[in-house]
Structure 1
Amino acid sequence: MSSFTDPRCRGITGPVLTVVAAGTALVLLASCGDGGRGTRDEGVASIATPSTTVAKTADPDAGHVRIRLDDNQRDVNRLWDAWTDCLHEHGVPADRKPAPDSPALKACESKYPLQPVEMDPAKNPRYSDGVRAMVKCMNGHGIKSVVSEGNWALVSGDSLNLPDFDKYKVQCQIKSFTDNG
């Protein structure tokens, strides 16, 4: 079984994020306006786009960039590239990780892409159901997947090169983490 450490593959292995207070419902409702489409290429609206007008005290994730369930890998890569570009602009060499207490991390904190709310086990009480549904959906499309350490994972990294991998990953994420009831 493969284990991915590249942050661009976090949607494959599963996220671990922080708990949000009850005010999250208001943040999510406030963020639904235009669906946060911006320059994204395709998909359906998602409740995962955070509101940038809500104070950080109401939601510690407010103002952060958030990956959405309907983002394809190109969209996800663009978000990660913006974060790494910011780090480089603040003096972190391309071949080095930033120090945990570096000014670059602080300066680029809001550009660090957070996983979709629906794929956060601390925020989604049905996350485990979604993981099982995701594995079933991916396997149904011939992409060998398993539940691994409470998250979903690919049996082989070679699956990333399968035709329509990205299309099925997005379809399965939307179906599994919104329709798992």
Structure 2
Amino acid sequence: MKAGALELGEASKDSTLKSTVNRGVSVLDFILRLIAIIGTLGSAIAMGTTDQTLPFFTQFTQFRAKYDDLPMFTFFVVANSIVCSYLVLSLALSIFHIARSNANGSRIILIFFDTAMLALLTAGASAAASIVYLAHKGNAKANWFAICQQFNSFCERISGSLIGSFAGVLVLMLLILLSAVALSRR
């Protein structure tokens, strides 16, 4: 009789420990989603408000660099905005996982959508990174000149916006791994 009660007590301790660990994983998931929201929102705002005008010989002739002059930067802003919106909406499921740490179906849904958002954010950030590289270095073979010597402020902002976006990519990777670990522990 005592052996059966002892085994039951150990099973109860294991169940409590698993529940505590799963709740901790869910809280970490929530915090990482908040960090990703900040990164993607900051990137979209920084890129979307980038604009610099250089005066030429006269006041009537000016050179202007704006983010929407290049479709890759527009795609970058749209991709970051979509991912940020998704992350805000996914906070509800993250809170649900804190309350009910044994939910499996919703974790699978989050892994699926997190992966899709990771692909979208990576595509947007990579497209913008290629243009930022050309803006800084140029390409002599293609006759593309580096514009960052003239448009310093523009180049600083577009380069800075990439940091938040690639941080969002990293956080989404961590979220996918975290959800996979949470599912494997069940």
**TM-score where L is the length of structure 2:** 0.27
Question: RCO higher in 1 or 2 (8 Å CA, sep ≥ 6)?
Answer: 2
Structure with bigger helix share is 2
**TM-score where L is the length of structure 1:** 0.28
